[in-house]
Structure 1
């Protein structure tokens, strides 16, 4: 394997360990977030990157162009700092034999003492950044380190390029000499004596093309952000629509996943007036609409009460009232079906609970005020992942 291919392979291995997830990546330096801060518009940056960015006049968020103020719009993001500190990455010197795994925040400190770090070279022998002509003064011990620098500081180098173009344009307008302009815009090594010198117009065109490309890429990035945000809204809307469709087309058989059961039970013990209601579900596409109510029994707070309420629909005028049918309530055991607690009841047309509701939900419910003992619900394994599953089947007759 040639030296060139070996170097390319080492660079690839190093990058695979040093590249952070997108949520841990600073949009400015494209590296791990260092001392992360959160803007009022909801974006994360390294503190130093953000402070440097805000030194500009009329500084705005690099992501959505929101105007930012250093004192009122920038906040420490300690949650993300803790998340990053729990991540593990390989030492960048893995290509030289180091197998240490450490937090990305500890990489810099480790590199100072890593026994596999490359030997320090005299200043005059260190590698210079390929953007040195544009103001980047960073130096490196070897090629992998220089390549990491190029990969992680794209934004910095683009800014240096745009600044160089601005200086070049000003110099051209003020009648600067061709030699001065060429020196400011030296993208390549000087041509040999046998080659024709690069004209000022060629350099000017190259700078202009690069600057326009940077602007175009920024515009495309913003367009993609807008498209992504719109797609997220559409997906959320679609999920909500699908959820509502499930409620309408369940044919009267509804599964209610009653989440956070333990905390809700404790809250109801502290305040017996607390009641929890399921979403409204339909007995058919244009049928009756019902919901489930769960609360502590008013007779004995050691029991849960489960009742059914009739709800208002947009087509109540086409239904037969009072509601008449069979209602089954099942407390589902997650592992042992034979332990399911099931009660079936027939509606009673003379009761207020089954008359046509005058408001969104009939205030009267019908069911069992002492459906199950709370202690047995916990000890018999009805609660799975702090969730209780209640199944209701409603069959109009």
Structure 2
């Protein structure tokens, strides 16, 4: 279960990274101030382009070009750049909500207006219901509206999380060693030995003992600091190795599952509420393979558009690097099950044969075939909740694919 959750988290992080790379502007269309697509582009007399709303406030405080420091007057040295505006309007970028299911392609100039009305915007949750960072016990206080935002945060702030984790570990190590090292240092310095009777220079001996103790303590602190640094390096290396191993294992598991895939849908209650608030919200599983060099598919889960008291489960074909070596359209048997966590006799299972004449089973021309095939009213949402299919805020969907 933990391995499948790790696979999903890794894919979500990869999807967020893909969305970022798609949205990144070319250098000639990037505003040097906000580092984003040029909005209402203007051209300065010194030949540089900026967003109008970025350069005007800048010139009010500092009448020089941010790039080459040439003197500029906002009323005489700023000109509309309609040519650049037309070039940008011909480009297309994905909606930032692509990881939540919005595949709208827009002009970069229209992204902000689209986000105001986008049906895939994350729900605005009260502060006490927001998702916490997985490193909250190490000191990260970030909160998020939904799972994709948290996964994006985990990917971008990995270095800070490793630092927090190493600091927490260092405190634990120092606390565990302090009790034993204190007694050992005291013995080395003879701190607890009573003074001999009749000692003439007892004050001098006491001062020597304290000096020896302080010296020993200083040496121990230096040793502990060195060990702490070594452990930080070891933890960092191990974390990198674990991340690389998890990524490799996730790819291996998805490719070598032989068409039998278990999709563990975490945070299912929040996902159901999101779909109830927006019936166009859909969730997709990672892509899995019918065989190591076979067909690639994924599962879609959403509320039925006909009756939102039912859930829809559909299968989509996905693009691979070896599609030309496969037989198209895809033909075979597909079984879909909702797995009961405690009683396999209660599993909800349906089996369907593919229909080659449908577009859903043709060779994909993009990453994901927009047409899916399956059940628009697979199971009642009320039955799923009341019969205990949701356990630990998780729902399990099993898919078996057998090409013929």
For normalisation by structure 2, the TM-score amounts to: 0.47
Rg comparison, structure with higher value: 1
For normalisation by structure 1, the TM-score amounts to: 0.48
